[in-house]
Each structure stands twice: as C-alpha cells, then as structure tokens.
Amino acid sequence: MSTNPAFFQNAAAEWIEHHCKINRLKPKTVAMYKAAIQKLTTAFYGRDISTIQHAELLRLLDVIQAKRVAGAVANHTATTTRLLFRWARGRLGLAQDPTEGLRNPARIRRRDRTLTRDEIRVLWRACDAAGYPWGHALRLQMLTGQRIGEIGAIRRSDVDGDFWIMSRNKTEKRIDIFLTKTAKAILAECPNFGAGAAYFSASAGSSGLRSDVFNNALKRHIRPRLEAAALELGLDPIAQHWTPHDIRRSVRSGLTGWAGVFPDVAERTLNHALSGIRSNYDFADYLGHVADALRKWEGELLRILAGEAPVVVPFNREVVL
C-alpha cells in the first residue's frame, strides 16, 4: 500500500504518534487510543481520508456500540475520531471535518453501587472459600480500599514494615498505605515466590493480577461461591451486580459513614487526586491520618463480619501518628 499521507491508515499512524508523544500519555491510555485507531483503520483502510463521510462514521459507531453493553468503547472511539480529523484538517488540508456534530453514541450512567454490611459479610466469606489468589486480593481491597489493579500489582519489595509503599498508581504519586494486622495476615498467607515477586499471582509470581482479568476470574472463582456463603451465614444472596470498583466505593463510604473518618482524610486514604486550588496548595503529609483511618476501618470491618449493626461515630480530631 502507498505511503501517501492522505491514506487513512497513514494519517492515523502519524496522528497517534504525534498525539501520544506531545501529551506524554500513560501506556494504558496509549493502548486505548491504539485500540480505537485499529477499529477505524480496519473500516477505512486504503481510503483517502478526505473521502470519509459523516454518515459512515455514524454507522461504524452504531456497530461498535451494538457489540458493547457499557458503550464506553463506542464513546472512546468517537472521541478519538474527532481528535484525528481535527488534526488532519489542519495538517492535510481537508475541505471539511466529517466529525462536526459527531457525538458520543452512548450515555454512561454514573455508578453509585455500594455493598451493604450483609453483602460485605457474604463476599468476605466467599473470598475466604475461594482462597489464593483472587479471594486474598479482594479481601485486601476490602481492607484498604485501593484500586484492584494496584492490589493485584503489589510486590514483596513494596512492603516495608507496616506500610505498603505504593508508587505505581493512577495518580503517579507515592502513597504509603498502612497495613493493619488483618491486612498483614492476608499477605502472610500468600506463597513466597521471591523478594521481587508479586504477592498475588496466577503465574508463580512472574506477574501480578491485572485488573482486566478480574471479571473472568470473578465469574470462575468468586461468584459461584456467593450462594453457599450466604446460606452458611443465614443471609440473603447478593442479588445486585457488583464490581471490584464498587468495593472501593463501599470502603470510601464506610470510612466516613461508619468509621467516622473525615471526608478529606478518607479521600487521601483512597489516593484520590486533589482537585481545584487544593492541588496547588495542599502538600501536607497525611501519613498518620491515613494510618489512623485504616485502623478505624479495620475495626469497623471486623464488626461487620461479626454481624454487628452500625454505630454513628462522631468525627474525632485526635489522630494517632
């Protein structure tokens, strides 16, 4: 095929190299853009980019959306398409931009799912029955509230005494996560594949548990055990769908709603990036605050697992450092 820059695949390859380089995108984000470009290239390979029409793009997005329940893939493809053609109009002198008026095809509903106290009990018991590595990883997430991909990537070299030194995360900023007694007990049960190996691994420590494989793992190892766990505890089965990120949301809600942790401290405990003017001015060391928050949450989680009802806990300004 010709190297003519007007051919769609050549223009797309040039754009993605330019876009990713100047924006210094993370590998995961780069992979998402490349996946979207691959879908477009498959549809328009060999075409002069100036001949592609608005209606063709709409039909392609309809096809992509029909194959994906969530709609996020179609929306990201639409966003990538708009960026590509706006770049091409300036660089290749397109007479018109076929993406004008091209909207994201899917409406994404913000998730607000949190697990009830009884659901947390059932899930913990199912994870206990499932065992290593998936059950152990999810129980550590229930204790710390960290992202499941970060949980799956933790290595023995990341743990220093009572702290998990987390440098590889979404915010790209180091945070030291306090490991409570229960959290350390879970890690102690993991097979030791070497100092630099992953704690949670399905491949003898050579790699951790990626977030994108958890859906299939849950179907195989965790969800089949939920009914028996509920029966054993004398509770109703978990009827509503849940995801690992819903566990993270549940921990965040429980920190403030059940354990009496200040919202600001709860946000830092989950390593949420600060927004607005605070991101430029708040560089305080929250180490002691986060450690105290996780101690409180462990205590509350143990009460949940014991079947105790929640108690309204007043906010306490005294922090154990």
- Give the end of a domain, one of 75, 92, 109: 92
Q: What is the mean pLDDT of residues 191-209?
A: 88
Residues 273 and 212 in one domain: yes
Asked whether residue 56 is domain-assigned, the answer is yes
We report the CATH number of the domain holding residue 22 as 1.10.150.130
Residues 88 and 124 in one domain: no
Asked whether residue 262 is domain-assigned, the answer is yes
Kindly report the average pLDDT of the chain as a whole number. 88
Q: What is the mean pLDDT of residues 198-205?
A: 87
pLDDT band at 211 (very low <50, low <70, confident <90, very high): confident
* Integer angstrom CA distances of residue 117 from 52, 169, 181, 214, 292: 54, 28, 21, 23, 21
Residues 80 and 121 in one domain: no
Domain that holds residue 221: 117-305
Residues 145 and 273 in one domain: yes
- Domains in the chain: how many in total? 2
Asked whether residue 99 is domain-assigned, the answer is no
Residues 80 and 195 in one domain: no
53 burial type by CB count under 10 A (0-12 exposed, 13-18 middle, 19+ buried): exposed
Residues 83 and 161 in one domain: no
Asked whether residue 316 is domain-assigned, the answer is no
Residues 159 and 232 in one domain: yes
Asked whether residue 2 is domain-assigned, the answer is no
26, pLDDT greater than 90 = no
Residues 75 and 155 in one domain: no
We report the CATH number of the domain holding residue 231 as 1.10.443.10
Q: Are 283 and 90 in contact (CB under 8 A)?
A: no
How many Cβ atoms from other residues are within 10 Å of residue 105's Cβ? 16
How far is residue 9 CA from its own chain's centroid? 31
154 burial type by CB count under 10 A (0-12 exposed, 13-18 middle, 19+ buried): buried
142-198 pLDDT, tens digit each: 999 999 999 999 999 999 999 999 877 666 677 889 999 999 999 999 999 988 899
Instruction: Show the 3-state SS of 225-266.
Output: HHHHHHHHHCCCCCCCCCCHHHHHHHHHHHHHHCCCCCHHHH
How many Å apart are CA 67 and CA 110, to the nearest integer?
20
Name the one residue in this structure whose structure tokens are 């509920």: 230
Residues 141 and 244 in one domain: yes
Asked whether residue 100 is domain-assigned, the answer is no
pLDDT band at 249 (very low <50, low <70, confident <90, very high): very high
Residues 45 and 137 in one domain: no
Residue 160: both structure tokens together: 């220093």
Residues 129 and 184 in one domain: yes
Percentage of the chain modeled with pLDDT above 70: 91
Query: 187 CB contacts (<8 Å, ≥6 apart)?
Result: 140, 159, 179, 199
282 burial type by CB count under 10 A (0-12 exposed, 13-18 middle, 19+ buried): exposed
DSSP state letters, 175-201: EEEE--HHHHHHHHTS----TTSBSS-
DSSP state letters, 95-150: SS-TTTT---SSPPPPP-----HHHHHHHHHHHHHH-TTHHHHHHHHHHH---HHH
Nearest to 231 by CA among 306, 147, 125: 125
Say what the pTM is.
0.73
Asked whether residue 104 is domain-assigned, the answer is no
Instruction: Note the pLDDT of residue 68.
Output: 58
Instruction: Note the pLDDT of residue 319.
Output: 47
Asked whether residue 315 is domain-assigned, the answer is no
Residues 123 and 39 in one domain: no
pLDDT band at 108 (very low <50, low <70, confident <90, very high): low
- Is residue 77 helix, strand or coil? helix
